[in-house]
Amino acid sequence: MNKDSIELTGLRYHAFHGVLPSERVIGNEFEVDIRLEFNASQAMETDDLAATVDYGAAVGIVTDEMAVPSALIEHVAGRIRKALREAFPMVTGGSVRVSKLAPPIPRQMKQASFTTVWSD
């Protein structure tokens, strides 16, 4: 079986995810990376969009899910994973990473991230 994939990295959003009430009001900057594995043999042969994962549609799905506030980035990543799997039944595995770029903690850090990985 082929392990072809489409990867979308560095999708940036201002969203309202977080446990603290202020995070639901002020929001934060987030970055989302996704990897979707599937057999792309037909797409490579036919040059047909219907034979692959439409990454424009995938970005739309991520954007829709990022617009729905959640307390935990784990919950956001899980919703994105579920929506992508429902939209693209050809996907056999992949990953979703959600990063909060300025977590409200008293330490300087680059980001706080959660990654979920799956394989059918």
pLDDT in tens, 13-35: 999 999 999 999 999 999 999 99
Give the residue numbers annotated as catalytic, written as ranges: 100
Using the predicted structure, report yes or no on whether residue 78 has a pLDDT greater than 60: yes
Whether the full predicted model's pTM is greater than 0.85, yes or no, is: yes
Which of the listed CATH numbers 3.40.50.670, 3.40.50.2030, 3.30.1130.10, 3.40.47.10 matches domain 4-119?
A: 3.30.1130.10
Looking at the DSSP bridge assignments, the partners of residue 52 are none
Structure tokens at 48: 């047909």
Looking at the DSSP bridge assignments, the partners of residue 112 are 100
Give the pLDDT confidence score for residue 108 in this predicted structure: 87
- At 79, the pLDDT band (50, 70, 90 cuts) reads very high
Q: Where is average pLDDT lowest: 2-6, 20-24, 82-86?
A: 2-6
Structure tokens at 78: 């899980």
Residue type present at position 52: T
- Asked if residues 27 and 67 have their Cβ atoms less than 8 Å apart, the reply is no
